[in-house]
Amino acid sequence: MLRFTRMKTPAKKDFPIEEIRQLLEPGPVVLVSSAWKGRRNIMTMGWHTVLEFTPSLVGCVIAESNVSFDMIRRSRECVINVPTLDLIDKVVAIGNSDGDTVDKFAKFHLTPVKAAQVAAPLIAECHASLECRLHDARLVKKYNFFIFEVIKAHVAPSPKYPRTIHYRGQGLFVTSGPVINKSRHFTKWRGAPNF
Rounded CA-CA distance 137/115 in Å is 22
Decide if pLDDT at 190 tops 70: no
pLDDT given at position 102: 93
Q: Which one-letter amino acid corresponds to residue 23?
A: L
pTM of full prediction above 0.85: yes
**Tens-digit pLDDT profile for residues 103-117:** 999 999 999 999 999
Decide if pLDDT at 93 tops 60: yes
pLDDT given at position 194: 46
Tell me which residue of 46, 32, 22 sits closest to 165, measured CA to CA.
46
Average pLDDT over residues 23-38: 88
User: Is 96 or 26 the better-scoring residue by pLDDT?
Assistant: 96
Residues contacting 71, CB < 8 A, separation 6+: 34, 35, 36, 39, 41
